[in-house]
Amino acid sequence: MGRARTVFFLSDRTGLTAETLGQSLLAQFDDLQYTPVSIPFIQTREAAEDVVRLIDQAATQDGLKPIVFCTLVDDAIVDLLEASAGVMVDLFGTFVGPLEQALEQRSLHRAGRSHSVANSRHYHARIEAMNFAMDNDDGTAQDYASADVILIGVSRSGKTPTCLYLALQFGLRAANYPLVEEDLQAKTLPEALRPHRRKLYGLTIDADRLVHIRQTRRPDSTYASPAQCRWELDAALRLMREEGIRHIDSTSRSIEEIAATILHETGVRRRFF
């Protein structure tokens, strides 16, 4: 038997698009073992020729044709790669022609225009939103009036990463408020949150997972004990239900999925596309 098949993700820019779509496609093949190789910033013929050598080498070593996902704009570079031993999956070129027809407009065929967020207005909105998330993390500052959304949940239920992702991907101002023991014993929404009820969204998490996460932070603490975790989660869920606050279980979902779900369910408008 040869080695696992090599899969290349090639791009003239960051390679993110090739990786994202390529991985989604490969996820449709059960138990597929492969060795991923990402090569971004392929912008010259020389760079492309080096890549062809790598593909051909992998083909020989694996005894299997590499799959080559690419988002390359320059036709000359694509042509070079077509001559390799890999199976080309041209994520870009495949659709440019049909789009030119539909839009009745020639495309630029020019690299370096791929990332929509490179422009300065978006850049500022993202940075501002990320600053907001960091400044309004874990109930330290409370500029809830400026927030687009406020995530609530027990400590380590995934609020902070989700807030940062909402800021990065959608430019949203996402604050978060950790429901601590006193909040949960009071069995009502904390004072600070009440005026902003419509912005609230809850995160829950499986108790065993929470125990595990808390154990890595504070081993053998009450904070990380199964009894404490279960009590907090039950109380938080009850509070969310009683207050009619939408919530999602973060356990088996990626940060991307949680964020997209929040956007979808709340109808909050992203600040850029």
- State yes or no: residue 38 binds a copy of itself (CB under 8 A): yes
Q: Which residues pair with 7 in a beta bridge?
A: 36, 67
How many angstroms separate the CA atoms of 60 and 265, rounded? 49
Among 61, 94, 188, 221, which residue sits at the site for a copy of itself (rule: CB under 8 A)?
94
Sheet bearing 174-178, strands edge to edge:
174-178, 149-153, 200-204, 247-249
- State yes or no: residue 171 binds a copy of itself (CB under 8 A): no
- State yes or no: residue 140 binds a copy of itself (CB under 8 A): no
Residues 221-250, one symbol each (x = binds a copy of itself by CB under 8 A, - = not), give: ------------------------------
User: Which residue, 36, 38, 50, 29, is CA-closest to 11?
Assistant: 38
Shortest Å, Cβ 28 to a copy of itself: 4
Q: Which of residues 54-93 bind a copy of itself (CB under 8 A)?
A: 65, 67, 71, 73, 87, 89, 91-92
Shortest Å, Cβ 59 to a copy of itself: 12
- State yes or no: residue 95 binds a copy of itself (CB under 8 A): yes
Alpha-carbon 68 to chain mean position = 23
Q: Which of residues 7-36 bind a copy of itself (CB under 8 A)?
A: 13-17, 19-21, 23-30, 32, 36
Judged by CB under 8 A, the stretch of 45-53, 153-161, 189-197, 226-234 that binds a copy of itself is 153-161
- State yes or no: residue 2 binds a copy of itself (CB under 8 A): no
Residue positions counted in the chain: 273
Alpha-carbon 40 to chain mean position = 19
What is 122-148 written as a DSSP string? HHHHHHHHHHHHHHTSTTSS--GGG-S
Judged by CB under 8 A, the stretch of 44-52, 53-61, 158-166, 218-226 that binds a copy of itself is 158-166
Closer CB to a copy of itself, residue 169 or residue 228? 169
Q: CB–CB of 55/85 below 8 Å? A: yes
Q: CB–CB of 170/263 below 8 Å? A: yes
3-state secondary structure of 7: strand
- State yes or no: residue 197 binds a copy of itself (CB under 8 A): no
